[in-house]
Chain A
Amino acid sequence: MIELIPPGLILLCAALWIAVVPNHWHRLGLFIGPILTLMAIWSVPDGVSLTAPFLDYELQLIEASPERRLFATIFAIMAGVGALYAFKHARRLELACGFAYASGAIGVSFSGDLITLFLFWELMALFSTLVVWFGGTPGARAAGIRYAIVHLLGGVILKVGIEGVVVHTGSIDIQALQAYNFDTYMMLAGILINAAAPPVSAWLSDAYPEASPSGSLFLSAFTTKTAVLALILLFPGTPLLVYLGVFMIMYGIIWALLENNVRRILAFSIVNQVGFMVVAVGIGTPMALNGATAHAFAHIIYKALLFMSAGVVIYHTGKEKCNELGGLYRTMPLTAFCGIVGALAISSFPLTSGFTTKTMISEAAAMQNLVWVWYVLAAASAGVFLHAGIKFPWYVFFQKDSGLRPKDAPWNMAAAMLIFVGLCFGIGIYPEPFYQLLPYPTEFSAYKPGKVVFYLQLLLFSGLAFFLLLPLMKRTNTLTLDTDWFWRRLGAKVSEQATQLISKGYGKASNSVSAGISAALKPILPSSEPSKDSVPAWSIGTTALWISTLLSAYVLIYYW
């Protein structure tokens, strides 16, 4: 029976429950919601299991396959563990929005057609914007507006593409496409905007760090990874994705190296990690798609772990700049430990989930004889260790003694972090059961002695490079320009100038028009110079009332 209920809908109901039920009873939704959702996800059989008519189309509300199920599973786990982490600190409505956002991601995972996919896509855009706004600061409000504009625009682009494909092929099915004409390129562009691909990656590092620490945690998981799933389903083996992914990988590293804000460093490293997945989708072989799926799953866990660890620090110190933190391992050893595990996993250190998933992508590149891609991925692995693996724990927990002595994580945050630490090591040490769940049968074995030695050399010597080059990485109170300069600075200036120009022109024009009218009316009207004071000023309310009356009258007459 439960397989007939869309899993996303269960989580959406839980979100509604959390939003409306008072007196701590809302917490029931926080914990039961994700469990029921997980049960539903795992009882959905492969193939299409629920359809609904819409206009002339048959919507496929639930279509399951191994990769869809894995993405939905990690989204539901993330919602549940995220709720455990956040339920004491976050506001009730913020949690409700986080759950609704997750339900959108799960809805996308199971969408069997483009229309359903689009609806859930927009649900995510809506609720993720609200999650950014729950940051509650003026910065969060402004960043939320920019975030919403990018995503609504991305939605429109995706919609144009979908409509083109539907009109020209007559099919709303989600199936592997080739990007070759306007429709498919628009669809690809719409999806890539959500994947934080260039040239619009800036929305991610702009908005995520402005949310509350729990908000950032939710944001880190869903939008980019649903985009990766959409790419796997719709554009596997598109060569362009290899180049875009490589760019994202390098961009993420360089911008993170320049960054001082801890959460922004982690945000850049999301772009970097999603870059690995995008490269994998571009390679498009079964091994590569397995790698993209496995890496997305593992990435959500260790990235959440990093954001959780950073979140505890921010909740307890109110600071999130590298140059204001340091030495926190003394009083928060558990948070430091969990942060270090997340950092090792993101750096694909042997025995962690990063190693058993990310190296699958490298191997897929090698099997296709993409030599340069393999070398770039290897260099990037070193770079990830540099910018996230060492930089994050080093500046926050070690470095210098900042004099801060915050308490360690409260029990719920500690429990949430430890669950994810367990998963990082679980998938890292004994990956075989996890490999069984991947979409394609695989012969991949992560631990070959020669490979482990290579990665240990690679990573430890990048550690040496980090410590030797520390003087070059002095933290500064600066931001780094990104492509959002075009809309935050250039666009703002242009629109400011244009507004001034138009209002000047309009002022002149309306002056001359009114002068002309009064000149024409002079002979007719006895008092040709009506003083401004004699014109009764209407309040906005009266104006609105008049307009609505006139409109109603118009509608009535029209129908009569």
Chain B
Amino acid sequence: MTQDKEISVRKAWITFLVLLALTLLVEFAIKAKTPFESSQWRGFGAVFGFLACAAMVLTAKLLGYVLKRPESYYEDSND
């Protein structure tokens, strides 16, 4: 069962990586376009999407240290 699961997870990853590669390779036929000159280089969408998400996850993680509270936080005080 666990082995089956590992195989299917690996298959999913391989499919996903192939898709990612395809979105990059397709640019040799159809160039990705943005409205601005500054972002017309190959693979911009991929780099921008990845970095934007990484930045948001890290921001959330850091804010979490400050803003996360136990679920009963408000119940303890007054509700």
In the bound complex, do residue A479 and residue B36 qualify as a contact, i.e. CB atoms below 8 Å apart? no
In the bound complex, do residue B46 and residue A383 qualify as a contact, i.e. CB atoms below 8 Å apart? no
Q: Which of B16, B23, B60 contacts A457 (CB 8 A)?
A: B23
Residue A363 lies at the interface, judged by CB distance under 8 Å to chain B: yes
In the bound complex, do residue B77 and residue A479 qualify as a contact, i.e. CB atoms below 8 Å apart? no
Residue B71 lies at the interface, judged by CB distance under 8 Å to chain A: yes
Tell me how far the C-beta of A128 lies from the nearest C-beta in chain B, rounded to whole angstroms. Answer: 21
Asked whether A479 and B69 contact (CB < 8 A) given A253-B56, A386-B53, A456-B23, the answer is: yes
In the bound complex, do residue B24 and residue A457 qualify as a contact, i.e. CB atoms below 8 Å apart? yes
Chain A interface category by residue count: 35 or more
Residue B11 lies at the interface, judged by CB distance under 8 Å to chain A: no
In the bound complex, do residue A462 and residue B32 qualify as a contact, i.e. CB atoms below 8 Å apart? no
Q: Looking at the complex, which of A185-193, A274-282, A487-495, A541-549 is the stretch in contact with chain B?
A: A487-495
In the bound complex, do residue A478 and residue B74 qualify as a contact, i.e. CB atoms below 8 Å apart? no
Asked whether A465 and B77 contact (CB < 8 A) given A366-B35, A454-B34, A478-B68, the answer is: no
Asked whether A449 and B30 contact (CB < 8 A) given A258-B67, A462-B50, the answer is: yes
A488 to B73, CA, bound (A): 10
Q: Contact mask B15-38 → A, CB, 8 Å, 1/0?
A: 010011001101100111111100
Asked whether A480 and B78 contact (CB < 8 A) given A254-B63, A454-B33, the answer is: no
A residues less than 8 Å from B26 (CB atoms): 453
Asked whether A465 and B53 contact (CB < 8 A) given A374-B36, A378-B48, the answer is: yes
Q: Contact mask A406-428 → B, CB, 8 Å, 1/0?
A: 00000000000000000000000
B residues less than 8 Å from A16 (CB atoms): none
Residue A458 lies at the interface, judged by CB distance under 8 Å to chain B: yes
Asked whether A366 and B36 contact (CB < 8 A) given A258-B60, A457-B45, A459-B49, the answer is: yes
Give the one of B24, B50, B70, B78 with max A CB within 10 A: B50
Residue B3 lies at the interface, judged by CB distance under 8 Å to chain A: no
Residue B7 lies at the interface, judged by CB distance under 8 Å to chain A: no
Residue A460 lies at the interface, judged by CB distance under 8 Å to chain B: yes
Q: Give A138-160 interface residues, CB cut-off 8 Å to B.
A: 138-139, 142
Residue A512 lies at the interface, judged by CB distance under 8 Å to chain B: no
Q: Contact mask A453-484 → B, CB, 8 Å, 1/0?
A: 11111111111111101001100111111000
In the bound complex, do residue A450 and residue B31 qualify as a contact, i.e. CB atoms below 8 Å apart? yes
In the bound complex, do residue B77 and residue A493 qualify as a contact, i.e. CB atoms below 8 Å apart? yes
Asked whether A492 and B77 contact (CB < 8 A) given A253-B56, A456-B23, A476-B68, the answer is: yes
Q: What are 8 A-to-B residue pairs whose CB atoms are below 8 Å? A: A371-B36, A453-B27, A453-B32, A460-B23, A462-B49, A464-B16, A473-B57, A481-B68
Q: Which residues of A contact B (CB under 8 A)?
A: 138-139, 142, 250, 253-254, 257-258, 363, 366, 371, 374-375, 378-379, 382-383, 385-387, 448-451, 453-467, 469, 472-473, 476-481, 488-489, 492-493, 496
Other A-B pairs, 16, CB within 8 Å; known A366-B35, A451-B32? A257-B57, A363-B35, A374-B34, A379-B48, A386-B57, A453-B26, A457-B24, A457-B46, A458-B49, A460-B19, A461-B23, A461-B46, A469-B54, A469-B57, A472-B58, A480-B68
